[in-house]
Amino acid sequence: MDIDLHCHSNMSDGALSPAEVVQRAAQRGVDVLALTDHDVLAGLHEARDAAREAGIRFIEGVEISVTWRGKTIHVVGLGIGAGLTELGTALEEVRAGRLTRAKEMAQDLEKAGVGGALEGALRHANNPVMVGRTHFARFLVEAGVVEDVKGAFRSYLVPGKPGYVPYDWAKLADAVGWIVQAGGQAVLAHPGRYGLSGGALEELVLQFKQAGGEGVEVVTGSHSPDQYALFGAVAHTHELAASRGSDFHGPGEGGEFGSLPPLDSRLRPIWQRWNL
């Protein structure tokens, strides 16, 4: 069974509509899919309907932006269907400053010689309240400033480069708490992306677990095979469940459906007690 518990639609920074995301996943052999848009639940209804149509299982999900020790960390929530209203209200505040931040990002890019970035990014943002770095990256590609989205995140939009504006997202314990209150399970997303030393990673995992976190994303689009092993070991050591998800954003933008290996069979999958 292909279980993919991490992807994005154009309600956040994905390139496809929720229904298109589901159809693509189904065509590529996914049997169980969670849509996990950043800080927004707006795509879940459409995706659920499309999944019924396509004959695959659907899990309501979200990916919450968190600031932990000055770094941006992502927490995926799975199975949040029971408390969507309360969670939705909490997320409104998390995403509230995105437009202001986008204006500051555009000003910073302007100083670096790249004009028109705010309008450009907003053209790529189907849901303007969710405008973010991926939309700026797509604009930078379109404007010929960089070759691809990866290149945009190498030379721009990251700490120390033009277009990066720090932002105070949710607190770790709050994000995990909202997910648990919504009846969901919290998963620490792509831990290989944070550039944390062994000690800091250990503390992050401990605090995450303390707050009620249940799983670690082990197999995901941005991890290398070495990282599957490393974060599998982290999950095992801390008695956390393991999760798996492509982090699909759009065709040709990295993580893709139907292309990931299965979880190591020695790990306890986050879906173990789901009625699949």
Q: Which positions touch ligand AMP (CB under 6 A)?
A: 13, 38, 65, 132-134, 149-150, 153, 249
Nearer to ligand AMP, 209 or 244 (CB): 244
Check if the beta carbon of residue 237 is closer than 8 Å to that of residue 231. no
Nearer to ligand AMP, 46 or 253 (CB): 253
Minimal distance, residue 166 CB to ligand AMP, in Å: 10
CA–CA separation, 173 vs 186, rounded Å? 11
Nearer to ligand AMP, 58 or 153 (CB): 153
Check if the beta carbon of residue 47 is closer than 8 Å to that of residue 21. yes
Nearer to ligand AMP, 187 or 267 (CB): 187
| DSSP label at residue 193 | G
CA–CA separation, 206 vs 172, rounded Å? 11
Nearer to ligand AMP, 111 or 150 (CB): 150
Minimal distance, residue 264 CB to ligand AMP, in Å: 25
Whether the CA torsion 158, 10, 96, 61 is positive or negative: it is: negative
Point out the residue whose Cβ comes nearest to Mn ion: 74
Q: Burial level of 251, CB count in 10 A (0-12/13-18/19+)? A: exposed
Amino acid sitting at position 138:
R
- Could you say which residues in the range 151-210 bind Mn ion, by CB under 5 A? 189
Taking alpha carbons only, the member of 251, 215, 252 closest to residue 235 is: 215
138 binds Mn ion (CB under 5 A): no
Check if the beta carbon of residue 92 is closer than 8 Å to that of residue 170. no
Contact window for Mn ion (CB under 5 A) among 85-93, 154-162, 168-176, 246-254: 246-254
Minimal distance, residue 99 CB to ligand AMP, in Å: 11
247 binds Mn ion (CB under 5 A): yes
Minimal distance, residue 6 CB to Mn ion, in Å: 6
24 binds Mn ion (CB under 5 A): no
4 binds Mn ion (CB under 5 A): no
3-state SS class at 184 = coil
Nearer to ligand AMP, 44 or 267 (CB): 44
Residue 149 touches which member of ligand AMP, Mn ion, none, C-beta under 5-8 Å by kind: ligand AMP
**Token pair 């995926």: residue:** 76
Nearer to ligand AMP, 198 or 252 (CB): 252
74 binds Mn ion (CB under 5 A): yes
- For 27-83, the DSSP string reads HTT-SEEEE--BT--TTHHHHHHHHHHHT-EEEEEEEEEEEETTEEEEEEEE--GGG
Contact residues toward Mn ion (CB under 5 A) are 13, 63, 74, 189, 247
